[in-house]
Amino acid sequence: MFAFAYTKLTRKQGVDPRGLTFAVLDFETTGLHPNKGSRVCEVGVVRMRGDGTVLDEYSTLVNPGVRINNEEHHGITNTEVKTAPTFEQIAGDLLAFLSDAVVVSHNLPYEEKFLSAEFGRLGMDIRKVPGLCSLVLARSQLDRYGYRLENVVNLVTGEWPSAWHSALGDARSLAATLARLINEAPQQLSWAGKSPVTLPEHPRTGSIAPRAAGLRKGTEGWLATLTARLPYMTNPPAPRAEQLADYRSMLGHALSDGRVVGEEATQLAVFAARAGLTQSTARQVHEDFLTEARAQAEADGKVTAAELKELTRAGKELAASHLISDLEEAAAADKARRNGPLKGWRILPVGESERISAVMDMAASQGAAVAVNPTKTVRMVIADEVSGDDSRLAKAREQDIEVLSPDEGERKLRDVIEQSAGSLFSDSDGQQAAERLNAEQAAETQQGPPEWHQFWRRRELDGGQYYSMFLQPYERRGGTSDSEKAAAGGGGCASAAVLAGAVTLAVAEAIRQIVA
């Protein structure tokens, strides 16, 4: 058994919610009817403070012990959950993430009935856990249909959920929405209800199989998205060694041609779940992989251009370029030197003074090459004694090659460098105009309240109003569950009306699909 003490955020006086801890919860399930054998197949929790600070995350696939026949809804396959922990194995960890927090979900009664069924199988009886239904919150404060999670998220945050129908993805989207409602609402919302309570302890296994859902290449590559979809855990469990070896092998296979494609990313996500990877452990695996590859490339004392190219591609894919940045910087400096403004210049030094060496070093750093003899390709000779009797000077004059002193040569070379730095279309005023326009656009964006404020109800709905608008119409079709009425916070005439008869969970589940 698991039961919530339904509470709410209200415009009336109460506790400032910005200092409270919330546990935003979402399930993916094998069906809609836990009383008919439907089970939880994925859990996602985001622990956050009301001010929007994310404190911890938890996510795992769950082996439901029954066949999954609704894969089209959430994308979870029987293959994925085959090696995942059971609910009994994650029960202790889940309780720890829900403990000492207000539990939040979009249509909380739905999560409640699955929690009740799953913990009931374990013989556990947990009651009076403070809970907040964000569906009721949105309907009570916002006057805009529809109220499905994706619509509310988009209205309040301006974004569509990035990993839709994954437990952690939905929990993250709801957490971001809740933070906006608490911190940016036109009228301050207060917490009016039961304070967080410590939940009973249950043996913890730390066994997880997080799913990286909604993979996209994006601008940073497939692996960056895969890592971001995994849970951020402050105390992540160690990856499972055997499955981690499979992940590393697949990683090497995917990077063998220098790039990761979508099918390979999907396969890597399966191995990541089996290995129990989180954001931090996945990043560590990727960094170790690149470090080992670099050590292999440096084993012979030199990193070839081909090896650096492979390392650079892998570093970008693994989001670990910082581990080879020194190699890239050295190569970039060498390339910049070879393609500098004096590229194509061959300069012949005649003499061994420090002054000549300094000028030649400067010229070489800008792309010039050092000549040995005054051939036709030499463009300048720099000599300590311009009128000296060195045979190379005489030969240079015969070929009309300019002979200059170190100071004269440096001045001429710097003039060439400065001229090449300019662009035919360069205009400093244009840059300033662009900066002014950016400042104007930023100021315009900051002016005025967020767009969703226009849908803020003039008055929040009380229990009776909520009942007549959102519950009564569906009671005519068969009824609403007691937990739905509790979530709505109905009282007075609303309570009297809803006590008119018993209702079934099956009807409540149908209603969920209509109004959620």
Q: Highest mean pLDDT: which of 43-57, 219-233, 349-363, 493-507?
A: 43-57
| pLDDT, tens only, 194-210 | 999 999 999 999 999 99
| 457, amino acid identity | R
- With bands split at pLDDT 50, 70 and 90, how would you rate the model's confidence at 509? very low
What is the pLDDT at residue 505?
38
Q: Which runs of E-coded beta strand occur in 377-476?
A: 380-383, 402-404
What is the DSSP pairing of strand 346-350 with strand 190-192? unpaired
Tokens of 198: 């410590």
Average pLDDT for 36-50: 97
| pLDDT, tens only, 123-141 | 999 999 999 999 999 999 9
Is pLDDT at 445 greater than 80 in this prediction?
Answer: no
* Interatomic CA distance for residues 160 and 177, integer angstroms: 11
H helices within 299-390, ranges in order? 305-317, 325-338, 354-365
Classify domain 4-192 at the CATH class level: alpha beta
Mean pLDDT of the chain: 88
Is pLDDT at 490 greater than 90 in this prediction?
Answer: no
Average pLDDT for 450-463: 94
What is the pLDDT at residue 502?
31
Report the share of the chain in percent with pLDDT over 70: 88
Instruction: Count Cβ atoms within 10 A of the Cβ of residue 441 and give its class: 0-12 exposed, 13-18 middle, 19 or more buried.
Output: exposed
| pLDDT, tens only, 4-32 | 999 999 999 999 999 999 999 999 999 99
What is the pLDDT at residue 419?
84
Is pLDDT at 225 greater than 70 in this prediction?
Answer: yes
Is pLDDT at 506 greater than 80 in this prediction?
Answer: no
Is pLDDT at 516 greater than 60 in this prediction?
Answer: no
Average pLDDT for 326-344: 75
Instruction: Count Cβ atoms within 10 A of the Cβ of residue 46 and give its class: 0-12 exposed, 13-18 middle, 19 or more buried.
Output: buried
Residue labelled with tokens 């656009």: 441
Tokens of 329: 């910087």
Is pLDDT at 151 greater than 70 in this prediction?
Answer: yes
Tokens of 511: 């209603």
Query: What is the crossing angle of helices 134-141 and 149-157, to 10°?
Result: 60
Instruction: Count Cβ atoms within 10 A of the Cβ of residue 479 and give its class: 0-12 exposed, 13-18 middle, 19 or more buried.
Output: buried
Asked if residue 107 lies in contact with residue 512, where contact means CB atoms within 8 angstroms, the answer is yes
Classify domain 346-421 at the CATH class level: alpha beta
Peptide bond into 146 cis (omega under 30): yes
* Interatomic CA distance for residues 18 and 120, integer angstroms: 33
- With bands split at pLDDT 50, 70 and 90, how would you rate the model's confidence at 476? low
What is the pLDDT at residue 515?
37
Asked if residue 268 lies in contact with residue 226, where contact means CB atoms within 8 angstroms, the answer is yes
| pLDDT, tens only, 405-437 | 999 999 999 998 888 766 556 566 777 888 888
What is the pLDDT at residue 82?
95
Q: Which of 179, 275, 180 is nearest to 227 (CA)?
A: 275
| pLDDT, tens only, 246-289 | 999 999 999 999 889 999 999 999 999 999 999 999 999 999 99
* Interatomic CA distance for residues 453 and 459, integer angstroms: 13
Instruction: Give the DSSP H or E segment for 498.
Output: helix 493-498
Instruction: Give the DSSP H or E segment for 29.
Output: strand 21-29
Is pLDDT at 444 greater than 70 in this prediction?
Answer: no
Show me where the domains of the chain are located: 4-192, 222-336, 346-421
What is the pLDDT at residue 72?
93
- With bands split at pLDDT 50, 70 and 90, how would you rate the model's confidence at 481? low
Three-state DSSP class for 188?
A: coil
H helices within 299-353, ranges in order? 305-317, 325-338
Q: Which of 216, 213, 236, 214 is nearest to 282 (CA)?
A: 236
Average pLDDT for 452-467: 94
Asked if residue 239 lies in contact with residue 281, where contact means CB atoms within 8 angstroms, the answer is yes
Q: How many residues does the chain have?
A: 516
Q: Which of 24, 22, 23, 27 is nearest to 211 (CA)?
A: 27
Q: Which of 96, 41, 86, 59 is nearest to 230 (CA)?
A: 59
| pLDDT, tens only, 95-131 | 999 999 999 999 999 999 999 999 999 999 999 999 9
Q: Highest mean pLDDT: which of 243-247, 393-397, 461-465, 501-505?
A: 243-247
4-192 and 346-421 share one fold:
no
What is the pLDDT at residue 489?
57
Asked if residue 125 lies in contact with residue 242, where contact means CB atoms within 8 angstroms, the answer is no
- Residue 158 CB contacts under 8 Å (≥ 6 apart), including other chains: 451
Is pLDDT at 507 greater than 50 in this prediction?
Answer: no
Average pLDDT for 367-384: 90
Report the DSSP beta bridge partners of residue 191. 9, 15
Q: Which of 47, 132, 140 is nearest to 94 (CA)?
A: 47
Is pLDDT at 514 greater than 80 in this prediction?
Answer: no
Tell which wins on pLDDT, 507 or 183: 183
Q: How many CB atoms lie within 10 A of CB 409?
A: 24
* Phi-psi map region of 419: left, alpha, beta (phi>0 left; psi -120 to 50 alpha): alpha
- With bands split at pLDDT 50, 70 and 90, how would you rate the model's confidence at 508? very low
What is the pLDDT at residue 404?
94
Report the DSSP beta bridge partners of residue 187. none
Instruction: Count Cβ atoms within 10 A of the Cβ of residue 300 and give its class: 0-12 exposed, 13-18 middle, 19 or more buried.
Output: exposed
| pLDDT, tens only, 51-95 | 999 999 999 999 999 999 999 999 999 999 999 999 999 999 999
